[in-house]
């Protein structure tokens, strides 16, 4: 029997042998990872959020940034070797946790000089202010083209000096690798290591990347790796059980296979997209579950659904994207299912199968929600327009779409682990974000993540000309007006970027432009491989680029010679989106860094937004103006789109809160089962 002292020494020895990061992986939830407050607690939290908005953060950050700029003289004349010595001294201060507020400012001034010497870019004062906001745990709004990639290096270096993992999370693998390779020279100069994680990396390369001081990755990869670590741990849910397992069985179990060092600090690029738009989709790790009978049932459900009539047998709720059966429909399904037997014997199961078949038919459309590539259904991200080949819809919907398209139906998969992006990012001890559009989401970012929003001014005044929406009675009149506007700009020699909400819409507009003899490029989920080349030419004189939402994220459009003198890039939106942030992100492609530019939306009463979120009012407008194949721009018609967009935003917020509550419920009542 060991004495208390010997027992303590044994425990310390066990912990010393645990892999790097096991402490953090086994640690309990952080303060941010709590259930959403309710009742009086929610009211109090709301008031706290309002009070924090009153803090003049922008003015405070700009003042601190000016103080950083004033320190340039302390580092500008140092040799490279002396500057490296200063960086090592600064690292020692932050590693010991003895830093003071003034040390943070000196650290930013030092990194600013390093950036200038290594990548030839000295962060502007506004970029320094943005970096200070990130260091304070804020969501920083910086306009498109203001250099968020460079801004992130300032706080990332400081957090790397603290000796804890810092994750810089981007929206796709290309940006993760590009930014890591571009900025690694800055980190190396400061004595830090930098790595990146992409989708096809093997386990050992991922582990090495996460062991670096700064790791660039995507939200999908880091979240999936967290779930893999949870599965690897099995029953080792905390430090005491890991110590006991090591003492009794002589091993650390799954802890030896962990990828992550822990969830300490995350800087989320395009924060509104990752933390809000994609938050409703839980990330799930699943495995194959062959079931021939179930695959056949999905195919049979499509045939049964073909015999049902809209209105008589079922109704479609466009807002909630649901299908409801009428009593006549339930009776019809029962009659059609009798000869099938087997899984069709149960009323609830057969109605679920037919319901999914109808949802796939009525609400999920080819070249809008998905495309078909190599005999497979590939989901199109609604917010970015990018393909998501590694994702599938759950609860049999993916199989229903496959059966509808008459391609190979893959069996549904068994869920091993799941977590929503909301829940995952709330696990980080310190969370910050940056995006070009955060102000509209400031309330939600506070409620869900307790991140205050601060708007950083542009380095040069923005001279974008925002034109009022043009409203049309029919889709045909809208598209005709869009083509005429493009033609007029083309004659002036101005480049035009046209944003569409779906692949189908982009291809339709492409056909109309071809009929007019207007040369153009199309950038959508199907043609994503040519993205870099297309975007590089989008700002050239008289260029016409038709793009889905993917052009608004992670791309850079530079004006060609002489374009600024004739008005710059003109951006046209062919529909309003559920979130005004996405419209603003698209419009932000023009008028960067003081360049001229203009933006305008062309909408019609027949668009999806009013039809889904205000069907009664939209129906009234259709009856009033539907016979007019012309423009019907009025204050009232513009109000319709403003109102429906507000409704859509509120509805999406309720959905995201529901996902987070469901995630907490599943974790509380089910959790990870581990091994028996």
Which whole number is the average pLDDT over 505-528?
86
Measured distance CA(126)–CA(59) in Å, rounded = 11
User: What's the token pair of residue 376?
Assistant: 């497979």
Phi, psi of 568 (to 5 degrees): 80, -165
Report if residue 169 sits inside a domain: yes
For residues 219 and 172, give the distance between their C-alpha atoms in angstroms, rounded to a whole number. Answer: 8
Q: 278 and 296 share a domain?
A: no
Do the beta carbons of residue 66 and residue 125 sit within 8 Å? yes
**Structure confidence at residue 6 (pLDDT):** 41
Does residue 663 sit within a domain?
no
* Residue 14 and residue 109 share a domain: yes
Q: Which residue has the higher pLDDT, 396 or 232?
A: 396
**Per-residue burial over 325-362, b = 16 or more CB atoms within 10 Å of its CB, e = otherwise:** beeebbebbeebbeebeebbeeeeebbebbbbbbbbbe
Q: What is the pLDDT of residue 44?
A: 84
Pairing of strands 376-380, 387-388: antiparallel
Mean pLDDT lowest for which of 126-135, 255-264, 316-325, 450-459? 255-264
Instruction: Identify whether residues 272 and 135 lie together within a single domain.
Output: yes
Is 136 a residue whose pLDDT tops 90? yes
If you search the block for the tokens 């306009």, which residue do you land on?
A: 143
Same-domain pairing of 301 and 268: no
The phi and psi torsions of 130 (rounded to 5 degrees) equal -65, -40
98 with 245, same domain: the answer is: yes
Decide: 297 and 411 in contact? Cβ < 8 Å: no
What local confidence, expressed as pLDDT, does residue 11 receive? 36
H or E element that contains 522: strand 521-523
Domain assignment present for 392 = yes
Question: What percentage of the chain has pLDDT greater than the value 90?
Answer: 53
Structural contact between residues 613 and 319, judged by C-beta atoms closer than 8 angstroms: yes
Q: Which domain holds residue 50?
A: 4-283+422-455
Q: What are φ and ψ of residue 417, in 5° steps? A: -160, 150
- C-alpha 494/C-alpha 564 separation (Å) is 9
In a domain, 653, yes or no: no
Q: Where are the alpha helices (DSSP H) in 464-607?
A: 475-492, 503-515, 531-537, 580-587
Q: What is the pLDDT of residues 447-477, one digit of tens each?
A: 889 999 999 999 999 899 999 999 998 899 9
- pLDDT surpasses 60 at 17: no
pLDDT grade for 10, boundaries at 50, 70 and 90: very low
Average pLDDT of the residues of the chain:
85
**Same domain (yes/no): 353, 496:** no
Into how many domains does the chain fold? 3
Does 303 lie in the same domain as 228?
no
Tell me the average pLDDT across 15-21: 42
Task: Please count the other Cβ atoms lying within 10 Å of the Cβ belonging to residue 546.
Answer: 28
Total residues belonging to the chain: 676
Do 515 and 385 lie in one domain? The reply is no
Mode of pairing for the β-strands spanning 265-269 and 322-325: unpaired
Q: Tell me, yes or no, whether 486 and 442 share the same domain.
A: no
In the numeric block, which tokens belong to residue 212?
């670096």
Helix (H, G, I), strand (E, B) or coil at 84: helix
Domain identity same for 205 and 305: no
Which single residue is written with the structure tokens 């939200």?
Answer: 219
Q: Is residue 662 part of a domain?
A: no
Whether residues 271 and 315 share a domain: the answer is: no
Q: How far apart are CA 162 and CA 170, in angstroms?
A: 22
The yes-or-no verdict on residue 479 having pLDDT over 50 is yes
Q: Answer yes or no: is 473 within a domain.
A: yes
- Give, as one character, the DSSP assignment of residue 220: H
CB 264 within 8 A of CB 244: no
Q: pLDDT for 351-389, tens place per residue?
A: 999 999 999 999 999 988 899 988 999 998 776 667 788
Q: Which of 135-139, 202-206, 247-251 has the lowest mean pLDDT?
A: 247-251
Q: State pLDDT tens for residues 523-582.
A: 876 655 566 667 778 899 999 999 886 654 556 788 999 999 999 999 999 999 888 888
CA distances from 356 to 294, 363, 533 (A): 13, 10, 40
Predicted confidence (pLDDT) at residue 31 exceeds the cutoff of 50: no
Q: How far apart are CA 362 and CA 533, in angstroms?
A: 36
pLDDT surpasses 80 at 14: no
Does residue 355 sit in helix, strand or coil?
helix
* Burial category of 377 from C-beta neighbours within 10 Å (exposed 0-12, middle 13-18, buried 19 and up): buried
The residue-averaged pLDDT of 284-288 equals 76
**CB 570, CB 496: distance < 8 Å:** yes
pLDDT in tens, 568-599: 999 999 999 888 888 888 898 898 888 999 99
Q: 229: which 2 tokens?
A: 């670590």
User: Is 659 inside a domain boundary?
Assistant: no
Q: Is 656 part of a structural domain of the chain?
A: no
Q: Are 217 and 164 members of one domain?
A: yes
Element (H, E) at 413: strand 413-419
User: How many C-beta atoms surround the C-beta of residue 474 within 10 A?
Assistant: 19
Residue 643, pLDDT score: 94
Helix axes 292-305, 397-404, angle to 10 degrees: 60
The model's pLDDT over 144-192, given as tens digits with 9 standing for 90+, comes to: 888 999 999 999 999 999 998 899 999 888 889 999 999 999 999 999 9
pLDDT in tens, 604-619: 998 989 988 998 898 8
Q: Cβ contacts of residue 615 below 8 Å, gap of 6+?
A: 318, 319
Q: What is the pLDDT of residue 76?
A: 93
pLDDT value at residue 20: 44
DSSP code of residue 163: T
User: Predicted confidence band at 311 (pLDDT cuts at 50, 70, 90)?
Assistant: very high
How far apart CA 459 and CA 455 sit, in angstroms, is 12
Backbone angles phi, psi at 368, to 5 degrees: -130, -65
pLDDT of residue 623: 85
- Cβ atoms of 406 and 357 closer than 8 Å: no
pTM (predicted TM-score): 0.82
- Tell me the pLDDT tens digit for each residue of 33-64: 567 777 787 788 878 888 888 889 999 999 99
Q: What is the CATH number of the domain that holds 509?
A: 3.40.50.300
CATH code assigned at 346: 3.90.1440.10
CA distance 72 to 342: 77
- pLDDT at position 242: 55
CA distance 121 to 119: 6
Name the token pair of 213. 């001081």
**Three-state secondary structure along 566-612?**
HCCEEEEECCCCCCHHHHHHHHCCCCHHHCEEEEEEEEECCCHHHHH
Model pLDDT, residue 318: 83
């Amino acid at each position: 029997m060991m004495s208390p002292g010997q027992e303590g020494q044994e425990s310390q020895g066990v912990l010393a042998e645990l892999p790097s990061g096991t402490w953090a992986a086994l640690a309990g939830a952080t303060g941010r990872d709590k259930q959403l407050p309710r009742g009086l607690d929610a009211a109090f939290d709301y008031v706290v959020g309002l009070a924090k908005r009153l803090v003049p953060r922008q003015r405070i950050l700009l003042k601190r940034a000016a103080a950083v700029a004033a320190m340039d003289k302390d580092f500008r004349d140092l040799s490279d070797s002396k500057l490296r010595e200063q960086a090592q001294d600064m690292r020692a201060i932050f590693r010991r946790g003895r830093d003071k507020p003034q040390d943070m400012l000196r650290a930013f001034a030092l990194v600013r000089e390093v950036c200038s010497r290594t990548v030839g870019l000295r962060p502007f004062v506004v970029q320094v202010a943005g970096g200070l906001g990130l260091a304070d745990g804020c969501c920083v709004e910086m306009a498109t083209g203001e250099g968020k990639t460079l801004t992130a290096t300032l706080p990332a270096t400081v957090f790397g000096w603290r000796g804890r993992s810092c994750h810089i999370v981007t929206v796709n693998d290309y940006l993760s690798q590009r930014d890591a390779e571009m900025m690694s020279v800055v980190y190396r100069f400061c004595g830090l290591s930098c790595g990146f994680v992409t989708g096809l990396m093997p386990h050992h390369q991922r582990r090495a990347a996460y062991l670096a001081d700064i790791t660039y990755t995507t939200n999908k990869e880091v979240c999936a790796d967290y779930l893999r670590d949870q599965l690897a741990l099995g029953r080792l849910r905390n430090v005491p059980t890991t110590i006991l397992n090591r003492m009794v069985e002589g091993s650390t179990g799954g802890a030896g296979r962990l990828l992550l060092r822990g969830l300490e600090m995350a800087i989320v690029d395009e924060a509104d997209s990752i933390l809000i738009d994609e938050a409703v989709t839980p990330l799930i790790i699943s495995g194959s579950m062959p079931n021939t009978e179930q695959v056949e049932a999905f195919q049979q459900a499509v045939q049964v659904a073909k015999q049902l009539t809209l209105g008589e047998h079922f109704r479609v709720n466009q807002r909630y994207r649901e299908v409801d059966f009428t009593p006549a429909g339930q009776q019809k399904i029962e009659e059609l299912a009798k000869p099938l037997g087997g899984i069709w014997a149960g009323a609830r199961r057969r109605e679920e199968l037919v319901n999914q078949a109808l949802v796939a038919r009525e609400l999920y459309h080819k070249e809008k929600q998905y495309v078909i590539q190599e005999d497979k259904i590939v989901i199109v991200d609604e917010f970015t327009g990018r393909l998501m080949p590694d994702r599938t819809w759950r609860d049999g919907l993916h199989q229903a779409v496959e059966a509808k398209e008459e391609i190979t139906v893959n069996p549904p998969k068994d869920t091993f682990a799941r977590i929503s992006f909301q829940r995952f990012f709330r696990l980080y001890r310190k969370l910050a974000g940056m995006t070009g559009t955060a102000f509209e989401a400031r309330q939600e970012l506070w409620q869900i993540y307790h991140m205050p929003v601060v708007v950083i001014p542009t380095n040069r005044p923005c001279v974008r000309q925002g034109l009022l929406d043009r409203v049309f009675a029919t889709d045909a009149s809208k598209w005709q007006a869009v083509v005429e506007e493009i033609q007029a700009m083309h004659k002036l020699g101005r480049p035009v970027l046209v944003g569409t909400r779906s692949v189908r819409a982009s291809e339709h507009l492409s056909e109309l432009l071809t009929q007019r003899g207007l040369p153009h490029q199309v950038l959508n989920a199907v043609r994503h491989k040519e993205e870099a080349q297309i975007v590089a030419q989008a700002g050239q004189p008289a260029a016409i680029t038709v793009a889905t939402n993917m052009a608004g994220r992670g791309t850079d459009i530079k004006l060609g010679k002489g374009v600024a003198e004739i008005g710059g890039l003109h951006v046209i939106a062919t529909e309003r989106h559920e979130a005004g942030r996405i419209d603003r992100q698209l419009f932000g492609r023009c008028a960067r860094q003081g360049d001229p530019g203009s933006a305008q939306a062309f909408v019609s009463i027949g668009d999806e937004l009013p039809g889904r979120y205000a069907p009664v009012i939209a129906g009234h407008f259709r009856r009033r103006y539907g016979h007019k194949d012309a423009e019907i721009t009025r204050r009232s018609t513009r109000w319709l789109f403003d109102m429906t967009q507000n409704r859509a935003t509120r509805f999406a917020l309720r959905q995201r809160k529901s996902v987070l509550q469901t995630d907490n419920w599943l974790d509380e009542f089910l959790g990870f089962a581990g091994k028996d």
